[in-house]
Amino acid sequence: MAACLLAMGNTGLWAQAIQPPLQNVAQLSASGSVEVQQDLLSIMMSTSRDGSDAATVQNQLKAALDAALLEAKKSAQPGLMDVRTGNFSLYPRYNKDGKISGWQGRTELVLEGKDFQRITSTAGKIQTLTLGNVGFALSREQRAQVEGQAQAQAIESFKAKATEVSRSFGFSSFTLREVAINANDQGPIRPRMMAMEAKAADSSPIPVEAGKSMVLVNVSGSVQMK
């Protein structure tokens, strides 16, 4: 029985080894792209504290963050302006002898959403934190919509290229063997660093201007020319 199974296994391997190579198969790739206005704004605000006592520094940071949250939540609305805390860190400062000489801490607050006016006005009203950076991106809904458009372009381009290549080689048609579709955003969040020590002097909106993103979809695969 073992000998029979071994023989059958060898026969299968031999059959695989003698399979003829693929013929009349073309490897192709195509792409589609759509440029779109970035519709998501993210503003990070922060503050730092320094002192000899860890508890004091922590309480100062907490008070600054609580005041900022209280102001931000007045205008918060899902999708239009979401409010979330960022990093909250507290770490020791050492002297030249390696001993703790004090404590440093930092806390962050992030305002993010599609309502630029609401976000910038809120950031201007927060007095206990300073402006960290401003970034723009595409929202998930905007990216999904635009990816669909770019994907349709890429697929049509792939089909047209497959038809052209097949005819160029003397074939009248083709069938799809395999395909891979990949999408990426050519315009990631572009942070704009602001002066960390410059506190908002009034409640006027912070001036911002969004850029554009290029959403690119690549289609690659192989076709059997007939």
pLDDT at 7: 52
- Confirm if 48 and 105 have CB atoms less than 8 A apart: yes
pLDDT at 68: 97
pLDDT at 202: 52
Buried b or exposed e, range 188-224, using 16+ CB within 10 angstroms: ebeeeebeeeeebeeeeebebebeebebbbbbbbebb
Give the Cβ contact number of residue 138 at 10 Å. 24
Closest CA to 109 of 93, 90, 92, 122: 122
* Residue that is written with structure tokens 């063997």 in the block: 177
From residue 38, give the alpha-carbon distance in Å to each of 81, 126, 193: 15, 25, 18
pLDDT at 201: 44
**Local confidence pLDDT in tens for the 226 residues of the chain:** 555 545 555 555 555 555 566 789 999 999 999 999 999 999 999 999 999 999 999 999 999 999 999 999 999 999 999 999 999 999 999 999 889 999 999 999 999 999 999 999 999 999 999 998 899 999 888 888 899 999 999 999 999 999 999 999 999 999 999 999 998 865 544 444 443 334 444 556 677 778 888 999 999 999 999 9
Alpha helices in 36-131 (DSSP H): 54-72, 116-125
Give the Cβ contact number of residue 176 at 10 Å. 12
pLDDT at 184: 81
φ/ψ of residue 14, rounded to 5: -65, -40
Q: Is the dihedral of CA 131, 136, 142, 143 positive or negative?
A: negative
Q: How far apart are the first and last CA of the chain?
A: 45
CA 49 – CA 99 distance, rounded (Å): 19
